[in-house]
A and B are shown apart, each in its own frame.
Chain A
Amino acid sequence: MSGTTLVDVHPADPRPSAAPSASTTSGKLVVDFGTASAPRALVELLRGHRDELLRIYGSATPAATVDNSKPATGIPYRWWKPGDRLAATTLGFDTETEAVGDINDPGSKPPRLVVATATDGVAGFYIAPDDLAAFLEAHTTPRSWSTTCSLTRGCASGPWLTARRDHSGR
């Protein structure tokens, strides 16, 4: 059997943590770690052996429903507070907002920020809107923010919102 491998963690699942279970659905391998975090090395191992695992689980295990999307990186996240700082100079960064309006309407207002998230691959932070400016200031370097080489996606809203909050504090 061939197909795409899906490796997901289900941290919000209220069931007591137990041994990981695996199954296939629609040609995908699904590994459920319950409430536990999956070590990065294990995830890499699963990815490396996905074809074999699909063959093993493909016919004997009933399909399961996947209901969460937390990637199995095992990076611990907590709310950012002043004084916290991510060590690495390369950061992953993303924003979650209210629903985006009509992007083709130049008069539409940008969506309001709900929470930002950042990680350096070792630790991660949830960042409240009111803390975002302070978070950015805590992660600039003596050179400039751009040489910190932080990342985001969705240039249409994320950085715009970030810059807007950075300057106006709103």
Chain B
Amino acid sequence: MVCTMTLERLLSLATTGTAQVFNSLDALAQKYLGITVAKDVVDSAGDPVRTSFGKYIGRPPADIEQVALDYAAGDTDVVLEIWRAPAAGSRAAQKRCQRCLRIPGRGCRLPTPGKPTAR
């Protein structure tokens, strides 16, 4: 499992010598896709969706408003688009990641069910 946020930080560290502060999803969407991901969406109660997912804890998933689901899906779409972006930096990051994943015990790996993560 690869974290684009951490990957961008590592890439920045490797190419500029510093880990950029602005490596949020919005910043990466701007950098690699040229789009802005709005974060000021509100639900039917007027609550900001981004910080209001906690209201659904303990409730059935069907209670989650569509605007909140769209928000969640939108972020995921952007993550995938960033990964696929033809920008040089992204490609370099992918190569770096793929190399990382080939090394046993290295990289940001999700544990296989029932097996501890190798370290």
Contacts and interface: CB of A to CB of B under 8 A. Distances in A.
B54 A7 contact: no
Contact of B77 (A5, A73, A133, A146): A73
A91 to B, nearest CB: 7
A153 B72 contact: no
B88 interface: no
B35 A5 contact: yes
B56 to A, nearest CB: 5
Given A92-B80, A126-B61, A151 B70 contact: no
A152 B2 contact: yes
Nearest to A74: B77
A70 B57 contact: no
B35 A90 contact: no
Among B40, B76, B79, B83, residue most surrounded by chain A Cβ atoms (within 10 Å) = B76
- The bracket for how many chain B residues form the interface is 35 or more
Interface string B75-116: 111111101100000000000011001000001111111100
Contacts of A67: 40-42
B13 interface: no
A99 interface: yes
Interface string B1-12: 111111000000
Given A5-B35, A115-B64, A149-B101, A166 B113 contact: yes
A70 B113 contact: no
Interface string B33-58: 01111111110000000010110110
B77 A124 contact: yes
Interface in A1-58: 4-8, 11-12, 28, 47, 50
Nearest to A129: B61
A38 to B, nearest CB: 12
Interface in A127-147: 128, 133, 136-137, 140, 144-147
Interface in A94-128: 94, 96-99, 111-112, 114-115, 117-121, 124, 126, 128
Contacts of A11: 66, 70
Contact of B35 (A7, A119, A120): A7
Contacts of A144: 112
B69 A145 contact: no
Given A147-B101, A162-B110, 16 more contacts: A11-B66, A12-B67, A67-B41, A69-B70, A79-B61, A98-B54, A112-B57, A119-B77, A121-B80, A151-B4, A152-B3, A154-B5, A155-B6, A158-B3, A166-B111, A167-B111
